[in-house]
A and B are shown apart, each in its own frame.
Chain A
Amino acid sequence: MTTLTLEHEHEAVRTERAVPAPIPFSRIVSVELRKSFDTRSGFWLLASIAITSVLATGAVILWAPQDELTYATFGAAIGFPMAVILPMIAILSVTSEWSQRSGLTSFTLVPHRGRVISAKATVAISTAVVSMVLAFAIGAVGNLVGTTIAGTDLVWDMGLDDFLYIVGANTLGMLMGFMLGVLIRNSAGAIVAYFVYSLVLSSLSEVLAASQSWWSDLRPWADFNYTQNLLFEGGFTGEQWANLAVSGALWLVAPLAVGLALLLRSEVK
């Protein structure tokens, strides 16, 4: 019976074939988007953005002092779990192709790895932006509910520019995860590296800056994590943007370039 089905199809198409159209980039992006939540782990990582936003909002309503019950407090509380989850999503979207070995199929169906990786980056950045919008919508509801319960005045002390600063900070954090995924290409390794970078190295830098004035001066230029976290506070000066660009080139752009060069040439097994 199977042979019969085959015969039908092949008689119809085998004879004369047109050269297929190239795969459009938008299609690769939509496939990568689908791949980021079609597994249980992927789904729950994305779901955890909404869940932790709700939990953080609830925590602010329950425990925050009444005079701090403002939109900015909600924003800060929601931003914290986000800064951990988004990089994990970015890391796994890249490393799972190697750790789960699905790259064997992905890079065979699209034999230009650069296109697949660009699509993943597009999905990662979109995810960051959409998650932030969603999270701040949840925060806004929390602000409404919280102030109503507490009977305090509604305070919307966050403008669009504050929002953009926070989105920018979290997107850069996510791109750090993406970079580590590209460079290390192993889920466990990249996740550990991310925590070493964001927790261990930043604490060391903190300690060093407290005792050594030369580092304290150099820090905004050389410690990307530090400068990136300053974004959460907003109000950047021209020099701070320069700090961000220089430290970002050092910690994000350069290793990403190395990682991409290696990834494009490596062997997929």
Chain B
Amino acid sequence: MITVDSLTKTYGGFTAVDDVSFTARSGRVTGFLGPNGAGKSTTMRIMVGLTPATSGTAHVGGRRYADLPNPGLEVGVLLDASAQHAGRTGREILTVAQRTMGLPRRRVDEMLELVSLTPEEAGRRVRNYSLGMRQRLGIATALLGDPEALILDEPANGLDPAGIRWMRDLLRGYADQGGTVLLSSHLLHEIEVIADDLVVIGQGRIVAQGTKAELLASAGTLVRTPDVRRLAHALVDANIDFTDSAASGTHDALRVDAEAELVGQVALRAGVPLTELRAADGAGLEEMFLDLTADTQRDDTSEGAAA
């Protein structure tokens, strides 16, 4: 179990992490979701003691990371797959970690096999690795000590679709065996398919957290009509909250905070034709996420949903 309590990190006047608290439970995959620069990596670096916190605490299995006698055996950490000496071979990087943790030599071969790096690839220097291979090597290093918890920063970066699928299965199996997995991502869809719990962070602050089911359930109703303006007026008259559904990728849809049946009645009374009316699974989360990213994103989010 990983517990983060009121973690804050300021750089001069800038608050990178602002009073962040959450728990990643054992047996579950916790997705740490947020746009680039939201404070995910800083939070993770603080958790493992690479960055000193301004205030607040982080505990793994009830202890501060710095108090773990041999951290590699208790927490597997992958913060940046490219942060390795480019002149070492993949096998050598694993061997250095294996020796530091005091593990038998065979663990290196077992891990290479687990992450599907061939002996020939393992003998290459890391400067010649693709990002996907570096991620596999990083996962191998994290799993080497058979830890109870994993802290992974954007582990799917650079993996091809098959690789992402592979990692999803790997982490799922790991959590099902009782392990704690905390992984970050800036891609909602990527994290939606694997996480049990979600922690959403934006501009250093947690904006939502809970189980995936809870967060997806609170999404309301998606309604699509060629006459958005008239429907909007009718909803305002009926005193029902709604927003533009940026997540739908078009301008003819609204996300309404009400049951589908009620929305249908409002539309019927107003005489507005509907082309779609359904529970907006996840659309609420996606919109919240798009709002978060809107400030930092270069693309116009209203043009496409593929952000």
CB within 8 Å of B: which residues of A? Answer: 2-3, 5-7, 9-11, 13-14, 17, 19-23, 27-28, 30-31, 34-35, 38-42, 96, 100-105, 107-112, 265, 267-269
Interface residues of B in 70-85 (CB under 8 A from A): 70-74, 77, 79-80, 82-85
Pull 29 A–B residue pairs with CB atoms less than 8 Å apart, ordered by A.
A2-B114, A2-B170, A3-B170, A6-B170, A6-B174, A10-B174, A10-B178, A14-B148, A14-B179, A23-B69, A23-B70, A30-B99, A31-B96, A31-B99, A34-B96, A35-B85, A96-B85, A100-B85, A101-B83, A104-B80, A105-B93, A108-B72, A109-B72, A109-B97, A111-B49, A111-B65, A268-B45, A268-B50, A269-B51
Contact of B80 among A27, A35, A101, A112 (CB under 8 A): A101
Q: Are B82 and A101 in contact (CB under 8 A)?
A: yes
Q: Are A267 and B173 in contact (CB under 8 A)?
A: no
Does chain A have a CB within 8 A of B236? no
Contact of A108 among B77, B84, B148 (CB under 8 A): B77
Contacts A23-B102, A104-B50, A267-B50 given; 9 further ones with Cβ under 8 A? A2-B114, A21-B102, A27-B99, A96-B85, A104-B83, A105-B93, A105-B97, A108-B72, A111-B65
CB within 8 Å of A: which residues of B? Answer: 45, 48-52, 65-66, 68-74, 77, 79-80, 82-88, 92-93, 95-97, 99-102, 110, 113-114, 116, 125, 141, 146, 148, 166, 169-170, 173-174, 177-179
Residue of B nearest to A104 (CB): B83
Q: Are A27 and B100 in contact (CB under 8 A)?
A: yes
Give the shortest distance, in Å, between B300 (CB) and chain A (any CB).
Answer: 32
CA distance A11 to B146 in the complex (A): 11
Q: Are B83 and A34 in contact (CB under 8 A)?
A: no
Provide the residues of chain B in CB contact with A267, threshold 8 Å. Answer: 45, 50-52
Q: Are B85 and A108 in contact (CB under 8 A)?
A: no
Given contacts A21-B70, A34-B96, A101-B83, contact A269 B48 (CB under 8 A): no
Q: Are A111 and B48 in contact (CB under 8 A)?
A: yes
Going nearest first, the 5 A-B pairs with the smallest beta carbon separation are A39-B87, A10-B177, A101-B83, A22-B69, A104-B83
Give the shortest distance, in Å, between A38 (CB) and chain B (any CB).
Answer: 5
Q: Are B66 and A112 in contact (CB under 8 A)?
A: yes
Give the shortest distance, in Å, between A88 (CB) and chain B (any CB).
Answer: 15
Q: Are A111 and B66 in contact (CB under 8 A)?
A: yes
CA distance A101 to B239 in the complex (A): 56
Give the shortest distance, in Å, between B293 (CB) and chain A (any CB).
Answer: 23
CA distance A248 to B177 in the complex (A): 57
Give the shortest distance, in Å, between A181 (CB) and chain B (any CB).
Answer: 15
Q: Are B86 and A100 in contact (CB under 8 A)?
A: yes
Q: Are B101 and A109 in contact (CB under 8 A)?
A: yes
Give the shortest distance, in Å, between B7 (CB) and chain A (any CB).
Answer: 15
CA distance A39 to B52 in the complex (A): 30
Provide the residues of chain B in CB contact with A38, threshold 8 Å. Answer: 88, 92, 96
Q: Are A268 and B51 in contact (CB under 8 A)?
A: yes
Provide the residues of chain B in CB contact with A265, threshold 8 Å. Answer: 52
Q: Are B69 and A20 in contact (CB under 8 A)?
A: yes
Provide the residues of chain A in CB contact with B113, threshold 8 Å. Answer: 5
CA distance A38 to B113 in the complex (A): 22
Q: Are A100 and B84 in contact (CB under 8 A)?
A: yes
Q: Are A2 and B69 in contact (CB under 8 A)?
A: no
Contact of A39 among B48, B51, B80, B85 (CB under 8 A): B85
Provide the residues of chain A in CB contact with B65, threshold 8 Å. Answer: 111
Given contacts A30-B99, A107-B49, contact A19 B177 (CB under 8 A): no
Between A21, A38, A105, A265, the greatest number of chain B beta carbons within 10 A of the residue's beta carbon is seen for A105
Give the shortest distance, in Å, between A264 (CB) and chain B (any CB).
Answer: 10
CA distance A106 to B200 in the complex (A): 29
Provide the residues of chain B in CB contact with A27, threshold 8 Å. Answer: 99-100, 102
Provide the residues of chain A in CB contact with B77, threshold 8 Å. Answer: 108
Give the shortest distance, in Å, between B228 (CB) and chain A (any CB).
Answer: 47
CA distance A110 to B110 in the complex (A): 23
Give the shortest distance, in Å, between B14 (CB) and chain A (any CB).
Answer: 14
Give the shortest distance, in Å, between A164 (CB) and chain B (any CB).
Answer: 33
CA distance A22 to B100 in the complex (A): 11
CA distance A112 to B49 in the complex (A): 9
CA distance A21 to B101 in the complex (A): 10
Q: Are A31 and B52 in contact (CB under 8 A)?
A: no
Q: Are A34 and B99 in contact (CB under 8 A)?
A: yes
Given contacts A2-B170, A6-B173, A111-B65, contact A104 B79 (CB under 8 A): yes
Residue of B nearest to A13 (CB): B146
Q: Are A105 and B83 in contact (CB under 8 A)?
A: yes
Residue of A nearest to B75 (CB): A108
Residue of A nearest to B102 (CB): A27
Give the shortest distance, in Å, between A2 (CB) and chain B (any CB).
Answer: 6
Provide the residues of chain B in CB contact with A7, threshold 8 Å. Answer: 173, 177
Q: Are B148 and A17 in contact (CB under 8 A)?
A: yes
